[in-house]
Structure 1
Amino acid sequence: MAGSSKRTRKRASQRTSGNPARRPVIELGPVTAKDWIGAARLRTLPLAVAPVVLGTGAAQVVDHRLHGVIALACLAVAVLLQIGVNFANDYSDGIRGTDAERVGPARLTASGRVPARRVLITALIFFALAAVVGLAIVIRTQQWWMLAVGALSIVAAWFYTGGKRPYGYNAMGELFVFVFFGLVAVLGTTWVQALALPAEAWLAAVTAGLFACAVLLANNLRDIDQDRKVSKRTLTVLIGRRATQVLFTLFVLAPFAVTVVFALTLYPVAWLVLLVLLAVLPAVLIVWTYRQPRELIIALSLTSLSSLAYAGLTYWALVS
């Protein structure tokens, strides 16, 4: 009975309202480094790395040299922005109450364990670091117009869940993810290294965007019931489970059509990219057969890692 009582108290301690300003303070123990790392949502970082890998490979199609310093700087910008947007989402969703009963790990703001202001400051620090590295790239390449691209990227990152009318709450998340995780990230990486945009860059940008959209669909499918309760109008909420499952399948399989195009033209090594289907197909199976929302976390992780594997093997094909 004592053990049961402890478990009950623990479950009760984890139930909080979303807005820290409107709920009682409930102690969940001291916040640890693991909690902050969890809030950074490391499983999403492959989505930041993959476009840089693809963009660098496309750049080497034009300029066979590897511009290592610029490529690493692009990688730093992408990762810092991704972590920044994850903390920004933690803050914005937390103060709105949309993370109050989420399926995944408890968020810092929604749980009340960390003051919302501290989470916001953390997000702004990562955005600032990304801006500094981005400025260094612009100075190095003298592509001053890229400052506008960087500014738009930060604005888009914030308004995904931030502001009075976040586009992530109005079925626009997939569109912006495709543009910024696909087109902007890949083409920007290619341009600052090669000052050219070959067809390979455009095709690679599409694949990166599709993988990122698929991860977002898996995430929103997991949260569909909670999002409906809090009137968060994601694309998944609007079109329903079955249409989301179909769309997810199309998004994760379409990049392999690009792979076949590469393999049949100038890059025979691209056939090896089809090995990534060994991870993608189980993700598709989970999305179609899951019984509990928590199972979709595995599909989300598999899809995210598949995007990185796809990028790595595609890079090999483009530069070999």
Structure 2
Amino acid sequence: MATTKSWIDAARPRTLPLALSGILMGCGLAWFYGAIQASVSALAVVTATLIQIFSNFANDYGDSQKGTDNQFRLGPVRTVQSGEISKKEMETGMKIVGALSFVSGLLLVYFGTRHSSPVAFFVFVGLGILSLIAAYFYTAGKKPYGYIGLGDLFVFLFFGLLPVAGVFYLNTGTLPGSVFWLAVTIGLFSTGVLNLNNMRDIANDRNSGKITIPVRIGATGSRLYHAAMLLLGWVFAVVFTIQNFQSPWQFLFLLTFPFFMRDLWQIFHIQNEKELDPFLKRLALSTLAFTLLFCLGLIISVA
């Protein structure tokens, strides 16, 4: 029987800061625009956390089915592949967490759309269901899209555009175009984390038939791709700030720039792909720090 530690490992706590970054950015922008709702924001955090855990369970389950999690994989040993959690237990775990995230999501959408049109309610319920489907079929199922190089696109959408713009709308009932500058930024940073994961496992993924973008473009190309995403994300954040400038405090997020650039420099000089593993957590935490300082700057500027 699976232990509590095994379930915690399967939930992959180091991925949770990234899942929360888009939600917090949406909340911070809603505050800046003067329309924050505590109930919506709290439910958004709970729902995003549950969906991310469901996604991690499904990823663990799916990769074990495809044989990608094996002795040649450079990342942490996964729980289903190692036998810590049986496939049957993981299936049960996915059902429980999926159900909890669905209930939490329904409450989130209800509180966020109760003063708007019924159409908005059903649109967001549909997006929530799509999020769960996308989380499952990333590596699970007969034709997982993560195995044909589409994982980056879905991470960009479901970690960037949807949480930032969606949470902003659920808080405010509006969706100005300027919000998408930050939605793209968080989406690019989040995709960068996935890219690091795929860069680390490029050899094993190629041998296992998992054709990620790094497998397609190679080690050097994937590093250039990584740099382009991070730098473009920073450009979009600066553009938003200049366009919506009210106080110098809004540039508080620039304090995290050296951390992004330091890690990027080191990534370009790493020869052993296994050494890339710590940079996944570091980019996730840097993205969260960026988000918190960005939101703090917004809040102070309108205080």
After TM superposition, the score normalised by the length of structure 1 is 0.86
Moved more, 254-263 or 293-302: 254-263
Unpaired stretches in structure 1, ≥5 consecutive residues: 1-29
Separation in structure 2 between the aligned mates of residue 211 and residue 127 of structure 1, nearest angstrom: 26
CA gap 1:60/1:198 in 2 versus in 1, 3 angstroms: farther
> What are the equivalent positions in structure 2 for 1:66-215 lying under 5 Å apart?
66-101=36-71, 102-140=73-111, 141-142=113-114, 143-145=120-122, 146-215=124-193
Deviations 1:35-76 (A, max 9, x none): 3212211111111110011111222233x2431121010011
1:288 counterpart = 2:272: no
- Which structure has the larger Rg? 1
Q: Once the 2 structures are TM-superposed, how far is the Cα of residue 318 of structure 1 from its aligned partner?
A: 2.4
Cα RMSD (Å): 1.5
1:276 counterpart = 2:246: no
Q: Once the 2 structures are TM-superposed, how far is the Cα of residue 31 of structure 1 from its aligned partner?
A: 5.1
The amino acid that maps onto 1:76 is V
Separation in structure 1 between the aligned mates of residue 43 and residue 93 of structure 2, nearest angstrom: 21
Aligned to 2:4: 33
After TM superposition, the score normalised by the length of structure 2 is 0.91
Aligned pair count reads 290
Q: Once the 2 structures are TM-superposed, how far is the Cα of residue 316 of structure 1 from its aligned partner?
A: 1.8
DSSP 3-state at the match of 2:158: helix
Contact 1:60 1:194 in 2 (8 A): no
Aligned to 1:310: 290
Separation in structure 2 between the aligned mates of residue 32 and residue 127 of structure 1, nearest angstrom: 20
Deviations 1:249-304 (A, max 9, x none): 11122222123223433333232211112221222123211132221112111111
Moved more, 207-216 or 308-317: 308-317
Contact 2:18 2:288 in 1 (8 A): yes
Q: Once the 2 structures are TM-superposed, how far is the Cα of residue 114 of structure 1 from its aligned partner?
A: 1.9
Separation in structure 2 between the aligned mates of residue 259 and residue 113 of structure 1, nearest angstrom: 42
The amino acid that maps onto 1:69 is S
- Aligned mate of 1:224, from 202, 207, 224: 202
Separation in structure 1 between the aligned mates of residue 275 and residue 262 of structure 2, nearest angstrom: 12
Deviations 1:185-218 (A, max 9, x none): 1111011110111233211110110011000000
Deviations 1:143-201 (A, max 9, x none): 42211111111111111111111110001010111111111111110111101112332
Contact 1:259 1:273 in 2 (8 A): no
1:247 counterpart = 2:231: no
Q: Once the 2 structures are TM-superposed, how far is the Cα of residue 306 of structure 1 from its aligned partner?
A: 1.1
Contact 1:80 1:129 in 2 (8 A): yes
Percent identical pairs in the alignment equals: 38
Separation in structure 2 between the aligned mates of residue 204 and residue 260 of structure 1, nearest angstrom: 9
Unpaired stretches in structure 2, ≥5 consecutive residues: 115-119
